[in-house]
Amino acid sequence: MSPGHIHVPTDCRTVTEILSRVGDKWSVQVVVQLGEGSRRFNELRRSVTGISQRMLTLTLRGLERDGLVTRTVYPTIPPRVDYQLTGLGCSLLKTVRGLGEWAIVNRDEILDARRRFDEGAADQEVHQQRPDAA
């Protein structure tokens, strides 16, 4: 933040609300799948491991509401429904991919930090159980 930046609480609420949508587990996976092209509902359901039909429906509805995904219904029997990223959704995909690349590049360092933290927490727990050991 620059020294002249003014903190506006309503901006924080807006950012938090948007990040809750685009950062949740299912939305990220759906956006990545749709980054490969238009998909039908059942194609998405098969490609997003572990998602229920209801959760996929809610996720797609939220992404559509936020302007990240379009839903196209074709008048066939049964009706065909395709989902695809909008321009805004494609811009989110770039950010998601960048974050994924960052995670891959830094994975080993993060795993090492976790291991050191967990070992330190275990040592601290032993000392708390035996006050005379300190």
Average pLDDT, the chain: 87
Distance (Å, whole) CA 67 – CA 61? 10
CATH number at residue 21: 1.10.10.10
Number of domains into which the chain is organized: 1
What is the DSSP-derived secondary structure letter of residue 4?
T
Task: Tell whether 57 is covered by a domain.
Answer: yes
Give pLDDT, residue 14: 81
Q: Quick one: pLDDT at residue 129?
A: 67
The helix (run of H) or strand (run of E) holding residue 62 is: helix 53-65
pLDDT of residue 92: 93
In a domain, 1, yes or no: no
- Residue 16, in any domain of the structure: yes
Torsion, Cα 105 111 112 117, to 10 degrees, reads: 140
> The domain containing residue 120 runs over which residues?
9-133
Percentage of the residues of the chain whose pLDDT score is greater than 70: 85
Which parts of the chain register pLDDT below 50? none
- Contact present, 72 and 81 (Cβ < 8 Å): yes
Q: What is the pLDDT of residue 3?
A: 56
For residue 3, tell me if it sits in a domain: no
Cα separation of the two ends of the chain: 43
DSSP code, position 59: H
